[in-house]
A and B are shown apart, each in its own frame.
Chain A
Amino acid sequence: MSVSDQMMKGLLDGAILGLISQGETYGYEILEKLKERDFPEISDGSIYPVLLRLSKKGYVQTELKKSDTGGPKRKYYTITDKGLEELAVFRNKWSYLNKGMNNLMRSVEDAK
């Protein structure tokens, strides 16, 4: 896995946790919201391993509800207290990282 792929993987976890914190949602809707917000380089299926991971770590909880499309029961995600704590840590680290990376990349551009 390339450096940029690994970076995207980590950020996708935080992005999805952030979306779920805004209210109960499900897989396809999460994907549409990510696309609406121009989250880059995402293949549709890549959210499911992330959702499984967030669930396993106890950051989100799930509930099966009847779907309005007449298909199988739909799995809805909501954030847990543990997930909120993790999100706060993520946001904090992200703002530092964002600032630091911008500074660093600016100096890389200067080097050119």
Chain B
Amino acid sequence: MLSKEAENFLLSLRLELLSRGKKEKDIQEIAEELRDHLIEAEANGQSVESITGGSVKNYIRSISEELPRDKGFIKYSILLLVYLLGVFIIPDLISGDFELNTSVILYNLAVLIIGTAATIIFFKTIAQKYGDSKKTYFILMLFYAPYMAALVGGQFIIRNHPGIVLAESNFIVNLIIGAVLLSIFIIVTLFMKQWFLAIFIFLMCLPSVPDIMAEFSTGSNGSENETYLIISGIVLIAVNITVMGIFIYTSKKEDKKISN
């Protein structure tokens, strides 16, 4: 059993190497080797400092320099950014609300670049400081609540201040582009065996379903319309059951694979 300090050090090492794009297999190997060393060192009364020589940061850097970078890292980072962009834009396209304007572009760029970088830096700093503890999860929750609020708040602001409009919103065009993009995203993520990502983007588009149903069934965007409420209610329940079914089926399949 390792001390909390040693566990925190190993967690920091993993996070830092992961964020530097090192191969998962290499990270696993060096972390296991250092764990083995620390078990023996702590049994002999030595501390983590004996390994790091005082500076965890410098030590991790010296390890990092010797590990090759995962060639797929940049490719996956770009794919992930594209995916996130899809998560932000496709639901709006499908609901017919999407309008290409300068505010939308600035908002998405800010969220993708500043938001992603801030999240990584924040997560790393907190995990390095508090390790895998309740405090870490609590602080992360404290960070995410205002972050989510800022995301939603930002949406309201860009709707009210669109800036320069580059392409007008058109329900049918938006719906077609949105549906095609959604299908592509789902097919690609499923093809890459990322079931979770496929389901997630699908779920993100679900709240748009009532809007589409309302537009088609009644020709109006009336939330008070009774037919619309019933239809969208049934669709939501049906879609939810299907998603849950898929989710349970895939997780059982995964379990089977692991137990084999």
Contact B33 A71 (CB under 8 A): no
Contact B40 A28 (CB under 8 A): yes
Query: Interface size (B, Cβ < 8 Å)?
Result: 24
Cα distance, A14 to B43, chains bound together (Å): 29
Cα distance, A53 to B36, chains bound together (Å): 19
User: Which listed residue (B33, B39, B46) contacts A48, Cβ 8 A?
Assistant: B33
Contact B35 A72 (CB under 8 A): yes
A97 interfacial by beta-carbon distance below 8 Å: no
User: Which listed residue (B30, B35, B46, B63) contacts A44, Cβ 8 A?
Assistant: B46
- Interface segment, one of B50-58, B70-78, B153-161, B164-172: B50-58
A4 interfacial by beta-carbon distance below 8 Å: no
Q: Which residue of A lies closest to B65 (CB)?
A: A49
One digit per residue, 1 when the CB lies within 8 angstroms of any chain B CB and 0 when it does not, for chain A 37-66 equals 000000111101100110010000000000
Cα distance, A45 to B38, chains bound together (Å): 10
One digit per residue, 1 when the CB lies within 8 angstroms of any chain B CB and 0 when it does not, for chain A 19-50 equals 00000001110010000000000011110110
Cα distance, A15 to B33, chains bound together (Å): 20
Cα distance, A31 to B41, chains bound together (Å): 11
Chain B residues near A26: list those with CB within 8 A: 36
Q: Which residue of B lies closest to A62 (CB)?
A: B29
How far does the Cβ of B16 sit from chain A's closest Cβ, in whole Å? 14
Chain B residues near A72: list those with CB within 8 A: 32, 35-36
How far does the Cβ of A31 sit from chain B's closest Cβ, in whole Å? 8
How far does the Cβ of A99 sit from chain B's closest Cβ, in whole Å? 31
Q: Which residue of A lies closest to B59 (CB)?
A: A45
Cα distance, A53 to B26, chains bound together (Å): 13
Chain A residues near B34: list those with CB within 8 A: 45, 48
Cα distance, A45 to B59, chains bound together (Å): 8
Chain B residues near A49: list those with CB within 8 A: 62-63, 65-66
User: Which listed residue (A44, A56, A71, A75) contacts B50, Cβ 8 A?
Assistant: A44
Contact B36 A52 (CB under 8 A): no
Chain A residues near B32: list those with CB within 8 A: 72-73, 75
Chain A residues near B35: list those with CB within 8 A: 71-72
B67 interfacial by beta-carbon distance below 8 Å: yes
Chain A residues near B4: list those with CB within 8 A: none
Cα distance, A74 to B38, chains bound together (Å): 12
How far does the Cβ of A50 sit from chain B's closest Cβ, in whole Å? 8
B37 interfacial by beta-carbon distance below 8 Å: yes
Cα distance, A71 to B37, chains bound together (Å): 10
One digit per residue, 1 when the CB lies within 8 angstroms of any chain B CB and 0 when it does not, for chain A 74-110 equals 1100000000000000000000000000000000000
Cα distance, A99 to B25, chains bound together (Å): 43
Chain B residues near A2: list those with CB within 8 A: none
A69 interfacial by beta-carbon distance below 8 Å: yes
A67 interfacial by beta-carbon distance below 8 Å: yes
Contact A75 B29 (CB under 8 A): yes
Given the interface pairs A44-B46, A44-B50, A45-B52, the reply to whether A52 lies near B30 with Cβ below 8 Å is yes
Interface residues of B (CB under 8 A from A): 29-30, 32-37, 39-41, 43, 46, 50-53, 59, 62-63, 65-68
Q: 6 A-B pairs, CB-CB below 8 angstroms?
A: A43-B51, A44-B41, A45-B52, A52-B67, A71-B39, A73-B36
